[in-house]
Structure 1
């Protein structure tokens, strides 16, 4: 049974994991923008500046996700962010672009593309925006 306490414990773990992932990704955008420039769709204006800003957004989102007062908005914004970067993931997969010196192939791209909706949910769940798929929980004492 999913008690409220168990769901909240899981939410906390997922929140920390997502924050660490976004911190890592944000610093990667700032440290190595060239890798991300190669997968940037051509229709995106100011690609270098966009990568810099997305790196800052990932870092800010990670920090905000760990801040109770900003958690909800961070969850919403990180979910929207995951939707917005999806075209770059598609371009990376379709064009078979090497990133970091390797051509990862479909064994990497297919799960990555399929997992993107999970990342959207993850941000919303970690930000306490949704409780889905868990029912309104009972307390641990029930």
Structure 2
């Protein structure tokens, strides 16, 4: 990972740049939603087996999302490691989405098994969005000598 920080990030295409800025804005919006108008909906996604207060988890994850959204939008030189961190964050919150599906918890208008199932399919796409738009996939390929 240190090589990814010390070397220049791969050259971003205009589409990657736009996608990265949109990712940052989406994370900022989601983080603000965690702390304000959608707090109860996010609490419904915290699995009962998480050994922490649901409100604490929602507030902490909101702060993380705001931080990551701001960082990815403005820290261009560090966008590759930030992309990996964002991808890891999306993976870390995935159990909450699975829990919402399994427990049939209604939140965010996801009030059917089909709607909750479709959401599960999109989580890996968020991971790929973070890795691609931040140049992490390119950096990984470049690190392998390709």
Scaled by the length of structure 1, what TM-score is found? 0.80
User: Could you tell me which of 41, 49, 69 is aligned with 2:47?
Assistant: 41
Match of 1:51 in 2: 58
Match of 2:4 in 1: none
C-alpha separation in 2, matches of 1:36 and 1:106: 18
Unaligned stretches of 5+ residues in structure 2: 1-9, 140-146
Unaligned stretches of 5+ residues in structure 1: 133-142
Number of residue-to-residue matches in the alignment: 129
C-alpha separation in 1, matches of 2:69 and 2:61: 12
Query: Alpha-carbon deviation of 1:52?
Result: 0.7
CA RMSD of aligned residues (A): 2.3
User: Is 1:72 aligned to 2:80, yes or no?
Assistant: yes
C-alpha separation in 1, matches of 2:117 and 2:126: 15
Match of 2:5 in 1: none
Q: Structure 1: which 4+ aligned runs deviate by more than 2 Å?
A: none
C-alpha separation in 1, matches of 2:39 and 2:86: 20
C-alpha separation in 2, matches of 1:70 and 1:29: 25
Scaled by the length of structure 2, what TM-score is found? 0.78
SS in structure 2 at match of 1:85: helix
Query: Alpha-carbon deviation of 1:85?
Result: 0.7
Question: Do the aligned partners of residues 103 and 11 (structure 1) sit closer, same or farther apart at CA in structure 2, a change above 3 Å counting?
Answer: closer
